[in-house]
Amino acid sequence: MEQQQDIFLGLGDTPQTLSLRLANRHGLVAGATGTGKTVTLQILAEGFSRAGVPVFVADVKGDLSGLAAAGDEKPKLAERAKQIGLYDFFYEANPVVFWDLFGKQGHPIRTTVSEMGPLLLSRLLQLNDTQEGVMNVAFRVADDEGLLILDLKDLRSLLNHVGQNAATLSTEYGRVSPASVGAIQRRLLSLGQQGAGKFFGEPALDLADFFRCDESGRGYINVLAADKLMLHPKLYATFLLWLLSELFEELPEVGDPDKPKLVFFFDEAHLLFDDAPKALIEKVEQVVRLIRSKGIGVYFVSQNPLDIPDEILGQLGNRVQHALRAFTPRDRKAVRAAAETFRANKTFDSFEAITELGVGEALVSTLQKKGVPSVVERTLIRPPASRLGPLKRSERQAVVRSSPVNGLYDESVDRKSAYEILKARADKAAEAEARAAEQAQPKRRRKQPEYDYAGNPRPRRRRKTQSATERIIGSAVRRFATQVGRELVRGLLGSFLRKR
Look at residue 497 in the predicted model and tell me its pLDDT.
44
Spatial contact of 439 and 146, defined as CB atoms under 8 Å apart: no
Look at residue 376 in the predicted model and tell me its pLDDT.
96
d(CA 43, CA 86): 14
- Contact partners, residue 277, CB within 8 Å, separation at least 6: 123
Mean pLDDT by 10 residues, the chain (500 residues): 80 95 94 92 96 94 92 92 92 96 91 90 86 93 94 94 90 88 92 81 94 96 89 79 87 90 89 73 83 93 88 92 89 89 93 93 93 94 95 95 94 92 91 86 62 61 59 65 56 48
Spatial contact of 288 and 315, defined as CB atoms under 8 Å apart: yes
Full DSSP string of 322-376: ------SHHHHHHHHHHHHTSBP-TTS-HHHHHHH--TTEEEEE-B-GGGPBPBP
Spatial contact of 258 and 20, defined as CB atoms under 8 Å apart: yes
DSSP, collapsed to helix, strand or coil, labels residue 300 as: strand
- The whole model's pTM is what? 0.82
Walk me through the domains of the chain, giving residue ranges and CATH numbers: 6-107+207-391 (3.40.50.300), 113-197 (no CATH)
- Contact partners, residue 382, CB within 8 Å, separation at least 6: 8, 9, 10, 11, 43, 80, 81, 84, 86, 89
Per-residue CA distances from 111 to 148, 205, 229 (Å): 13, 6, 16
Tell me whether strands 296-302 and 107-108 are parallel, antiparallel or unpaired.
Answer: unpaired
Spatial contact of 70 and 46, defined as CB atoms under 8 Å apart: no
- Contact partners, residue 482, CB within 8 Å, separation at least 6: none
Partners of 221 in beta bridges: 55, 96
Which residue type is seen at 174?
G
Spatial contact of 180 and 125, defined as CB atoms under 8 Å apart: no
d(CA 240, CA 28): 17
Look at residue 55 in the predicted model and tell me its pLDDT.
97
C-alpha 262: how far from its chain's center? 21
Give per-residue burial for 124-134: e unless 16+ CB within 10 Å, then b: bbebeeebbbb
CA dihedral of residues 420, 422, 424, 427 (deg, nearest 10): -130
